[in-house]
Amino acid sequence: MQKIYLLTPGPTPIPPNILLKMAEPIIHHRSPQYEEVFQEVRENLLYLFQTKNEVLVLASSGTGAMEGSVASIFSRGDRVLVVNGGKFGQRWEQICSTYGLEVISLDVTWGEAVDPSLIEKHLKNDGSIRGVFTQATETSTGVVHPIKEIAEIVKNYEQTLMVVDAITGIGVFDVPMDQWNLDVVVTGSQKALMLPPGLAMASVSDKAWQFAKNSDLPKYYFNFSKELASAKKNQNSYTPAVSLIIGLREALRMIKEEGLNNLFARHERLASAARAGVLALGLPLFAKSPSNALTAVKLPQEIDGKKLVKLLRDKYGITIAGGQDHLKGKIIRIAHLGYITDFDLIIALSGLGMALGDMGYSVNLGEGVKAATEVLNGQ
Ligand SMILES: Cc1ncc(COP(=O)(O)O)c(C=O)c1O
């Protein structure tokens, strides 16, 4: 028998009350019952995104909201600056290029955060840049980018939008959309929202809606203007993922009850414990400015990260993420967002110590757990 522990940066575990809600008999989406559910979801999404702008909900993974942001708001040949410090920065580039935008790649060493002054330099030198695209957390490296500082620069440029992939950010740490003048913020269901994959969300500022009016890119399903008109009627343009929306209502109720400040503090505390835990095992952090969503850990050269991840999963029932692209086998990523709690983390650190021992790497078993527990206990 094996018990499964999921500590990946998406999907994340789902609280039992949400699972039970999603298991209830499905309702029809063109009905007053659904509209009541969706109205509550819409209201509570404003709270989560800290915005007055509608948060659109789409049936797709998070990438759908990224694609929709490009297709619905930008126009053929627009020049955009993309922060490229990992797998998901690359995704912005690929989507923008696919739609015929002219991409300027701001390459950032994987594991490092972007320097906002470089963005300012680009914007000062090139008045034709229409958008700055970045991640809140670059999940492939565990780095948190300085969104607030970047947005403070971008807001001075009337013809430039600040587009944030906060798929691993919303519900983890503070990303106050309106207060920071963010123009597009997207997220997905399978991260801090504690839901299965399948929902993407995007909110768009007034400034960005002005751009959308002139957008000449092809779009059909991911058409934000169309989706906005539907949302205003508590509806969706196409068949929504009804059960996921019902789960989302429950998740948002939980988040609202906890309160955003408590939610962010909880993630910060767990992240601090995770960092202390891996450091105590003698493993350095990979990210120079680590996110509170996940901890990326550099492995010793003699440890094959792919084998380590497999061993943890198959022998101990603990699923964490490995590295992507050139980081395959070189780093591991332990998530601590959403419905991941103190003891999930303790189990992961304990298992990590044991698995490293199995692989012949000498660790002080229990040191990781001890260090993490001290942080969690506020010592
Ligand atoms: C920062 C970030 N952006 C984009 C994505 C892509 O989202 P999805 O896989 O839901 O399409 C992810 C998923 O892991 C992510 O972490």
pLDDT of the residue at 365: 84
Mean pLDDT confidence for 193-213: 98
Residues 173 and 66 reside in one and the same domain: yes
Q: How confident is the model at residue 78 (pLDDT cuts 50, 70, 90)?
A: very high
CA distance 93 to 299: 29
H or E, element range at 212: helix 206-214
CATH, residue 169: 3.40.640.10
Distance, C-alpha 32 to centroid of its chain: 32
Q: How confident is the model at residue 67 (pLDDT cuts 50, 70, 90)?
A: very high
Three-state DSSP class for residue 313: helix
Q: Give me ligand 1 centre to Cα 137, in Å.
A: 10
Cβ–ligand 1 distance for 280 under 6 Å, the answer no
Residues 30 and 146 reside in one and the same domain: yes
Cβ–ligand 1 distance for 62 under 6 Å, the answer yes
Cβ–ligand 1 distance for 88 under 6 Å, the answer yes
What's the whole-number average pLDDT of the chain?
A: 98
Number of domains making up the chain: 2
Is 11 among the domain residues? Answer: no
pLDDT of the residue at 362: 87
Residues 323 and 190 reside in one and the same domain: no
Residues 228 and 91 reside in one and the same domain: yes
State the angle between helix axes of 260-280 and 367-376 in degrees (0 to 180), rounded to the nearest 10: 150
Cβ–ligand 1 distance for 133 under 6 Å, the answer no
Is 316 among the domain residues? Answer: yes
For residue 374, give Cα distances in angstroms to 270, 276, 341.
11, 9, 15
Is 166 among the domain residues? Answer: yes
Q: Give me ligand 1 centre to Cα 63, in Å.
A: 6
Lookup result for tokens 């990590």: 352
Cβ–ligand 1 distance for 63 under 6 Å, the answer yes
CA distance 103 to 70: 12
What value, to the nearest 5°, has the Cα angle with vertex 71 and ends 70 and 72? 95
Q: Give me ligand 1 centre to Cα 62, in Å.
A: 5
CATH, residue 292: 3.90.1150.10
Q: Is the pLDDT of residue 163 over 90?
A: yes
Mean pLDDT confidence for 72-80: 98
Q: Give me ligand 1 centre to Cα 118, in Å.
A: 25
Contact between 271 and 295 under an 8 Å Cβ cutoff? The reply is: yes
Atom number in ligand 1 closest to CA 136? 1
Cβ–ligand 1 distance for 61 under 6 Å, the answer yes
pLDDT of the residue at 379: 77
CA dihedral 18, 222, 182, 274 (to 10 degrees): 40
pLDDT of the residue at 58: 98
Task: State the CB neighbour count (10 A cutoff) for residue 1.
Answer: 3
Residues 70 and 192 reside in one and the same domain: yes
State the angle between helix axes of 242-258 and 32-49 in degrees (0 to 180), rounded to the nearest 10: 40
Domain boundary among 194, 224, 258: 258
Q: How confident is the model at residue 224 (pLDDT cuts 50, 70, 90)?
A: very high
Mean pLDDT confidence for 178-191: 98
- B/e letters for 194-211, b = 16+ CB within 10 Å, e = fewer, are bbbbbbbbbbbbebbbeb
Domain boundary among 226, 258, 290: 258
Which residue's CA is the nearest one to ligand 1's atom 12?
A: 167
Identify the CA nearest to 128 among candidates 181, 89, 74: 74
Atom number in ligand 1 closest to CA 140? 16
Q: Per residue in 111-123, pLDDT tens?
A: 999 999 999 999 9
Residues 98 and 218 reside in one and the same domain: yes
Q: Give me ligand 1 centre to Cα 364, in Å.
A: 35
Q: Which of 88, 163, 184, 337 to mutate to test the pocket of ligand 1 (most atoms within 8 A of CB)?
A: 88
Q: Per residue in 128-160, pLDDT tens?
A: 999 999 999 999 999 999 999 999 999 999 999
pLDDT of the residue at 363: 87
pLDDT of the residue at 247: 98
Range of the domain at 293: 260-376
Residues 221 and 296 reside in one and the same domain: no
Residues 172 and 152 reside in one and the same domain: yes
State pTM to two decimals.
0.98
Residues 83 and 227 reside in one and the same domain: yes
Residues 53 and 175 reside in one and the same domain: yes
Residues 127 and 172 reside in one and the same domain: yes
Is 10 among the domain residues? Answer: no
Is 348 among the domain residues? Answer: yes
pLDDT of the residue at 325: 96
Q: How confident is the model at residue 289 (pLDDT cuts 50, 70, 90)?
A: very high
Is 81 among the domain residues? Answer: yes
Residues 266 and 354 reside in one and the same domain: yes
Is 2 among the domain residues? Answer: no
Cβ–ligand 1 distance for 165 under 6 Å, the answer yes
Q: Give me ligand 1 centre to Cα 225, in Å.
A: 23
Domain boundary among 213, 234, 258: 258
Is 5 among the domain residues? Answer: no
